């Protein structure tokens, strides 16, 4: 019987569990055996594995995180670590390895495929949504929902106290979470890594808002924006305007929680499609979703190309905030 392996690697994201479940159930349906590898590439090196039968993934569809656990492995970046991993893959008789993770994990998958001749297939799962070759990554919309819920609650207190709030959301290199949660949450401004921000202009807009009768404001700040942390920006705004402000850093809250409807559907579709691709002997690819359809892209493209944020949403928010 053919065997496939599945692991989750890098940053966790809500929806990894429905995806693992889909890989396991679709593989069993197609007559394959599935080996689950715990703690990503680290588990591959340490042979930390479990046989996955249909019941091993019962009751996980609604759970955040990943039952296979995830990790970052420095050892796997080196030849010795990779050798150990490859030896274990061969001993286990794994014919295709399915890697659920972000772009770092895909670099590792590519190494396995291109350097060590282990067929690999990637499934994009990260809350950042910053992977080319797919409109959505597993976990993004759940993270946006979490951020939005927080913004709504912050708005209640901001309005009651006539305050300015700066809410820092995740996104070191991309502003997807900031842009989507900011637009949906009615933010007065959104600071993202993709655009430079002039703080004088931000302060002028706040002043104009006040003149028009706005008594409270919320600014969404992506971690990787071009100015600094939310706390730094807040103190600079206070110095310039004198507004009383508060800072909320959402942090790892955004990684947790039950996957939303879309992340479950996406996890299930991409997981099943990855198994189909493995059966068809496809390799060194990532399975994504583009315009609602499953799309396969070479892993080599994923590393080279950067997904662009839709700046129309940013300018739309500027109009909404007037």
Phi, psi of 51 (to 5 degrees): -75, 130
Binding-site member from 104, 224, 228, 298 for ligand ADP (CB under 6 A): 104
77 is a contact residue toward ligand ADP (CB under 6 A) = yes
Per-residue binder mask for ligand ADP (CB under 6 A), 2-21, x = binder: -------xxx----------
CB of 250 to ligand ADP, least distance (A): 18
Contact stretch for ligand ADP (CB under 6 A) within 17-25, 99-107, 151-159, 181-189: 99-107
Contact flag: residue 107 with ligand ADP (CB under 6 A): yes
Can residue 214 be called a binding residue for ligand ADP (CB under 6 A)? no
Q: Is 41 in the site for ligand ADP (CB under 6 A)?
A: yes
Report the C-alpha gap between 162 and 158 in whole angstroms.
6
Q: Say whether residue 102 binds ligand ADP (CB under 6 A).
A: yes
Tell which positions 217-236 bind ligand ADP, by CB under 6 A.
none
CA distance 161 to 215: 9
Q: How far apart are CA 41 and CA 304, in angstroms?
A: 22
Please indicate whether residue 128 is annotated as part of the active site: yes
Counting contacts by CB under 6 A, is residue 171 touching ligand ADP? no
Which parts of 284-303 interact with ligand ADP (CB under 6 A)?
A: none
Among 18, 43, 88, 103, binds ligand ADP (CB under 6 A): 103
Q: Which is nearer to ligand ADP, 104 or 228 (CB)?
A: 104
User: Are the C-beta atoms of residues 168 and 247 closer than 8 Å to each other?
Assistant: yes
Rounded least distance, CB 77 to ligand ADP, Å: 5
Pairing type for strands 96-101 and 120-124 reads parallel
> Burial code of 245-265, b = ≥16 C-beta within 10 A, e = fewer?
bebbbbeeebbebebbeebbe
CA proximity to 4, closest of 91, 94, 85, 86: 94
Phi, psi of 138 (to 5 degrees): -65, 125
Which residues, at least 6 apart from 228, have a Cβ–Cβ distance to it below 8 Å? none
Residue 65 is a binding residue for ligand ADP (CB under 6 A): no
Cβ atoms within 10 Å, residue 322: 9
For 133-166, give the DSSP string: T-S--BTHHHHHHHHHHHHHHHHHHHHHHT-EEE
Looking at the Cβ atoms of 22 and 138, the one nearer to ligand ADP is 138
**Considering 113, 128, 130, 189, which one is annotated as catalytic?**
128
Whose Cβ is closer to ligand ADP: residue 16's or residue 247's? 16
Residue nearest to ligand ADP according to CB distances in the complex: 104
Stretch of 98-106, 147-155, 190-198, 314-322 contacting ligand ADP, by CB under 6 A:
98-106
How far is the C-alpha of 293 from the C-alpha of 289, rounded, in Å? 5
Query: Angle, to 10 degrees, between the axis of helix 261-279 and the axis of helix 16-29?
Result: 40
101 contacts ligand ADP (rule: CB under 6 A): yes
Active-site residue numbers? 128
Q: Which residues bind ligand ADP (CB under 6 A)?
A: 9-11, 41, 72-73, 76-77, 101-105, 107-108, 111, 126
């Amino acid at each position: 019987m053919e065997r496939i392996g599945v692991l989750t690697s890098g940053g966790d994201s809500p929806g990894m569990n429905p995806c693992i479940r889909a890989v396991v159930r679709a593989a069993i349906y197609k007559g394959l055996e599935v080996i689950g590898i715990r703690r990503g590439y680290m588990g591959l090196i340490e042979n930390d594995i479990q046989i996955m039968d249909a019941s091993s993934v019962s009751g996980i569809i609604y759970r955040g995180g990943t039952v296979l656990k995830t990790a970052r492995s420095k050892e796997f970046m080196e030849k010795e670590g990779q050798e150990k991993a490859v030896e274990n893959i061969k001993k286990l008789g794994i014919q295709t390895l399915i890697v659920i993770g972000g772009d770092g994990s895909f670099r590792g998958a590519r190494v396995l495929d291109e350097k060590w001749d282990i067929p690999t297939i990637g499934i994009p799962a990260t809350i950042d949504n910053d992977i080319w070759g797919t409109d959505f990554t597993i976990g993004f919309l759940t993270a946006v929902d979490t951020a939005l819920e927080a913004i709504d609650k912050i708005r209640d207190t901001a309005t009651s106290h006539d305050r300015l709030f700066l809410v820092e959301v995740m996104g070191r290199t991309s502003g997807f979470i900031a842009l989507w949660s900011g637009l949906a949450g009615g933010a007065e401004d959104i600071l993202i890594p993709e655009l430079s921000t002039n703080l004088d202009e931000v302060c002028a807009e706040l002043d104009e808002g006040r003149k028009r009768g706005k008594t409270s404001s919320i600014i969404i700040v992506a971690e990787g924006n071009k100015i600094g942390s939310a706390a730094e920006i807040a103190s600079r705004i206070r110095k310039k305007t004198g507004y009383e402000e508060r800072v909320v850093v959402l942090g790892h809250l955004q990684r947790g929680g039950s996957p939303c409807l879309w992340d479950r559907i996406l996890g299930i579709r991409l997981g099943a499609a990855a198994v189909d691709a493995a059966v068809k002997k496809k390799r060194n690819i990532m399975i994504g979703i583009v315009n609602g359809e499953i799309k396969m892209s070479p892993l080599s493209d994923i590393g080279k190309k950067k997904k662009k944020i839709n700046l129309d949403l940013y300018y739309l928010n500027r109009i909404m905030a007037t």
